């Protein structure tokens, strides 16, 4: 584990570095408070720090205050080394943001024990962050496919439309439906149907750009938001998505199954905040309905709708 050691005294700093290296730490050193702040701000920087109270440019409490004020991504456990004995000095250091303190000269065994406590605190924080991210993911993603759920994909569509106002760029939307999905469930069983949904989700993600959004609209329907995609590019993009599904059979526990998509497509341009999204979704849904009525495995564009 990385640890930062900060002391303006070169000999003390080197002794501390050697002792921590012997205990398995990857040690980074600094000789003044400003270097400490810079090192701790780096991506992938140390999350454990042993810093001296008295340092040039910025003292230990000053480092603590600045780190706590600016570093919000992941917690940094700071152990303050001080020769100060007065209670008010200790209180000042802890109130500045230090997690613990040791008086100098410190005993190696005590330093080791206190750093072990710091590591436990960081491990607990990591578990809490992981649990929070898992809850956030579950709140916005479909449990089976891990795609955005209906509410989240609508929210992303609204965000993309708002961005299109600032950038004066179009947004295209694809509404996709798996052809004859009920027949797949009836013939092969719902577990195989779930396999198809999972594989289809993977293929859809592979068929779009990293910054496009794919969500499960409901059942066997999927909504894809293509930011910056105009009418001229929509046909190529929509056909690429469709062909990515039917190009090869889906391999399932029941054997290979041919799968195809019907797709409704629309480009939204000159969006205004006052515009309702409902009419556009109604148009793309009508385009999808016509794609199925015309024989499935095809794309129909909302502006080309005709009576059938």
Catalytic residue status for 303: no
d(CA 167, CA 140): 26
Query: In this structure, are residues 78 and 56 in contact, taking their beta carbons and an 8 Å threshold?
Result: no
d(CA 174, CA 266): 7
d(CA 246, CA 242): 7
End-to-end CA distance of the chain: 67
The residue annotated as part of the active site, out of 31, 66, 220, 221, is: 220
Q: What is the DSSP string of 130-155?
A: HHHHHHHHHHHB-TTT-SB-HHHHHH
Query: In this structure, are residues 148 and 213 in contact, taking their beta carbons and an 8 Å threshold?
Result: yes
Q: To 5 degrees, how large is the angle CA 291–CA 294–CA 297?
A: 55
- Of residues 207, 177, 208, 157, the one with CA closest to residue 287: 177
What number of residues does the chain have? 308
Q: What is the DSSP string of 61-89?
A: HHHHHHHHHH--SS--EEEEEE----HHH
Distances (CA, A) of 211 to 80, 143, 203, 224, 226: 44, 21, 15, 11, 8
Q: Where in the sequence numbering do the catalytic residues fall? A: 220
């Amino acid at each position: 584990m990385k640890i930062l050691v900060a002391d303006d005294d070169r000999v003390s700093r080197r002794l501390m570095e050697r002792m921590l290296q012997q205990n398995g730490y990857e040690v980074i050193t600094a000789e003044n408070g400003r270097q400490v702040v810079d090192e701790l701000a780096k991506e992938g920087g140390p999350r454990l720090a042993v810093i001296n109270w008295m340092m040039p440019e910025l003292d230990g409490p000053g480092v603590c205050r600045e780190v706590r004020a600016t570093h919000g991504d992941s917690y940094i456990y700071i152990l303050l080394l001080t020769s100060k004995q007065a209670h008010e000095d200790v209180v000042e250091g802890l109130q500045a943001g230090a997690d613990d303190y040791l008086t100098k000269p410190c005993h190696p065994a005590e330093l080791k024990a206190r750093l072990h406590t710091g590591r436990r605190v960081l491990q607990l924080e990591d578990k809490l962050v992981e649990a929070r991210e898992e809850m956030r993911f579950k709140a916005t993603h479909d449990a089976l496919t891990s795609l955005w759920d209906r509410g989240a994909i609508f929210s992303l569509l609204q965000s993309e439309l708002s961005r299109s106002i600032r950038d004066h760029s179009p947004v295209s939307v694809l509404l996709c439906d798996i052809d004859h999905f009920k027949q797949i469930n009836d013939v092969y069983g719902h577990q195989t149907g779930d396999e198809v949904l999972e594989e289809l989700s993977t293929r859809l993600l592979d068929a779009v750009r990293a910054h496009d959004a794919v969500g499960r609209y409901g059942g066997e329907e999927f909504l894809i938001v293509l930011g910056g995609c105009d009418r001229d590019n929509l046909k190529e993009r929509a056909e690429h998505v469709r062909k990515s599904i039917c190009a090869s059979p889906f391999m399932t526990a029941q054997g290979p199954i041919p799968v195809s998509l019907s797709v409704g497509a629309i480009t939204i341009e000159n969006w205004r905040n006052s515009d309702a999204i409902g009419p556009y979704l109604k148009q793309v849904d009508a385009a999808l309905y016509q794609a199925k009525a015309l024989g499935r495995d095809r794309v129909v564009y909302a502006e080309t709708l005709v009576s059938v």
